[in-house]
């Protein structure tokens, strides 16, 4: 696990007490030398219960305001427990035109 991946995981656990959390470093799937530049978050938290999707994303953007100056892409999939039960998974990330996805 990368340093940034570990940091994002710890901060989300502390701030949102998620019932489910995945922080995926997708940097290797993208062009360029950065090894900690692209991340995908899957967060299921009761703290999202009364928040719109944009409010959830703003919450996470605010939480990682400083980190986002170093991260090129942050895909956020934020769910309430009920939404997660219906969805039962997050969408697959799209292929990067300059990346190394097979």
| Kind plus residue range of the DSSP H or E element containing 62 | helix 53-63
| Whether the model pTM is above 0.85 | no
State the CB neighbour count (10 A cutoff) for residue 50. Answer: 8
Given the candidates 3.30.300.90, 1.10.3720.10, 3.30.70.20, 2.40.110.10, the CATH classification of the domain at 3-87 is 3.30.300.90
Query: Mind listing the pLDDT tens digit for each residue in 40-98?
Result: 999 999 999 999 999 999 999 999 999 998 888 899 999 999 999 998 788 787 666 55
Cα separation, 71 vs 82, in Å, equals: 30
Structural domain spans, the chain:
3-87
Cα separation, 72 vs 29, in Å, equals: 13
Q: Sheet of 20-25: strands edge to edge?
A: 20-25, 38-44, 73-79
């Amino acid at each position: 696990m990368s340093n940034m991946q570990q940091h994002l995981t710890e901060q989300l656990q502390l701030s949102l007490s998620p019932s489910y959390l995945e922080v995926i470093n997708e940097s290797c799937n993208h062009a360029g030398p950065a090894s900690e530049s692209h991340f995908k978050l899957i967060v299921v938290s009761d703290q999202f219960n009364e928040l719109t999707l944009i409010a959830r994303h703003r919450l996470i953007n605010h939480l990682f305001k400083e980190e986002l100056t170093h991260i090129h892409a942050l895909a956020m999939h934020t769910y309430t427990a009920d939404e997660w039960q219906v969805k039962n998974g997050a969408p697959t990330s799209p292929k990067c035109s300059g990346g190394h996805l097979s």
